[in-house]
Structure 1
Amino acid sequence: MGVLERKEREKQEMRELILQTATRMFLEEGYEKTSLRNIAEKIEYSPATIYLYFKDKKELFYAIHERAFENFFAHMSSAETIANPMLRLRRMGELYIEFAFQNPELYDLMFIMRAPMEAIKESRAEWGCGPRSFELLRTTIINCMEAKLMKSMDVDVAALSIFSFIHGFTSMTIRDRLIMYPKESLRTLLEKSLDNMIDLMKA
């Protein structure tokens, strides 16, 4: 291995170490308590080292946000093997709920916190990871309509309606805004509510 290749590998290894450490600290301590200085102390390097890889905390957390969406996309894509698009849509709802409940802090970073999106605006980069996941939903809805399993309507209206419903319910659950219901029954309630919404859209 040449000098340049070795340096590039070491650079990638350091970036990966920073990302993994920052993710672990975020999950354990939360966004506000995770600082670049604390991350640097954890990996036993100076804060200046982190600035070689990330402009600021927002950019670092956007990288975590992007990786979380990659995992989310892979998780949701497992439903694509289901031939019946209506059953696939139902399964996608289950997978969304499952991911959110298993990864509440990452879900918060992906769908609620402003910092990752502020990093995109400041860098003027394109947000590719979020829309790619949303396109899975749109495609499934199109398949439902083509198969005459769902009422013909504007695809984006249908997709946003389903997403907004499940996102809102899931977010309220994770943020403890539905404490009037027993915690152990919330997932079942959410899934049944999703069933009712999908039923209203059936042809």
Structure 2
Amino acid sequence: MGITERKEREKADMRRRIVDAAIGMFVKDGYEKVSIRNIADKIEYSPATLYLYYKDKDELLYDVQREGFATLSTEFATKITHKDPFKRLEQLAWAYIEFSREHPELYDLMFIIKAPMNAVNKDEDWKNGDPAYDALHNLIKECIDKKLIRFKDPTVGALSFWAFAHGFVSLDLRCRFKVADIAEDEMQKVVDTAIREYLRIIKV
């Protein structure tokens, strides 16, 4: 291995250590406790060293967000397996809901907290979200092509589907369902019922 290759590998290894530490800290302590200094202390490097890899906390959290989407993509791959496109759409809905319940902190970073998006220039695509969105969009298009759902435009269908599921998840994560006076132990049942009703409504 040449000097250049070794340096690139060392750089990648260091980024991996930083991101792993940030994920652990974010999941355990939340957004406010994550800082370049705290992560530097965690991996026993100086903050100045971390600034060689990330210009600020937002840029670092963007990489943490990418890890969250990699986890979601893995879950989609293992849980969305049915031959029938509409059944796969149902599986995608439940995989998305289950992910939010099993990884609430990562979901927050991926879909609610604005900070990581500050690392994306206004003219750039949000590449972290592409694989998950593309999976939904392509599946919606397949359902439309086979006349299985009522939508005509795959983009409208994908955004509607996503917005519906995300609305329920975000209201739950931010404790906003209190306004409906729903008991906490009943909340999961309410969300599950709503998802089933939505799927029933959009089905041809």
Normalized against structure 1, the TM-score is what? 0.91
Give the gaps of 5 or more residues in structure 1. none
Specify the code of the residue in structure 2 equivalent to 1:169: F
Give the gaps of 5 or more residues in structure 2. none
Q: 1:135 to 1:4 in 2, by over 3 A?
A: closer
Given that 2:85 and 2:143 are in contact with CA atoms closer than 8 Å, whether structure 1 keeps it comes out as yes
Aligned to 1:6: 6
| Mapping of residues 75-94 of structure 1, within 5 Å | 75-94=75-94
Given that 1:85 and 1:140 are in contact with CA atoms closer than 8 Å, whether structure 2 keeps it comes out as yes
Distance (Å, rounded) in 1 between the aligned partners of 2:188 and 2:146: 29
Instruction: Work out the percentage of aligned pairs sharing the same amino acid.
Output: 41
Aligned to 2:189: 188
Aligned to 2:168: 169
Aligned to 2:132: 133
Given that 1:77 and 1:136 are in contact with CA atoms closer than 8 Å, whether structure 2 keeps it comes out as no
Distance (Å, rounded) in 1 between the aligned partners of 2:9 and 2:153: 48
| Mapping of residues 61-100 of structure 1, within 5 Å | 61-100=61-100
Specify the code of the residue in structure 2 equivalent to 1:183: E
Question: 1:183 Cα deviation (Å)?
Answer: 2.4
Question: 1:14 Cα deviation (Å)?
Answer: 1.2
2:47 corresponds to 1:47: yes
Given that 1:22 and 1:39 are in contact with CA atoms closer than 8 Å, whether structure 2 keeps it comes out as yes
- The number of residue pairs the alignment matches comes to 202
Greater Cα offset, 147-156 or 101-110:
147-156
Q: 1:90 to 1:5 in 2, by over 3 A?
A: same
Specify the code of the residue in structure 1 equivalent to 2:70: E
SS in 2 for 1:81: coil
Aligned to 1:201: 202
Greater Cα offset, 167-176 or 66-75:
66-75
SS in 2 for 1:151: coil
SS in 1 for 2:31: coil
RMSD: 1.7
Question: 1:130 Cα deviation (Å)?
Answer: 0.9
Aligned to 1:153: 152
Distance (Å, rounded) in 1 between the aligned partners of 2:117 and 2:56: 13
Deviation >4 Å, runs of 4+: none
Distance (Å, rounded) in 2 between the aligned partners of 1:119 and 1:152: 34
Greater Cα offset, 175-184 or 18-27:
175-184
Given that 2:65 and 2:128 are in contact with CA atoms closer than 8 Å, whether structure 1 keeps it comes out as no
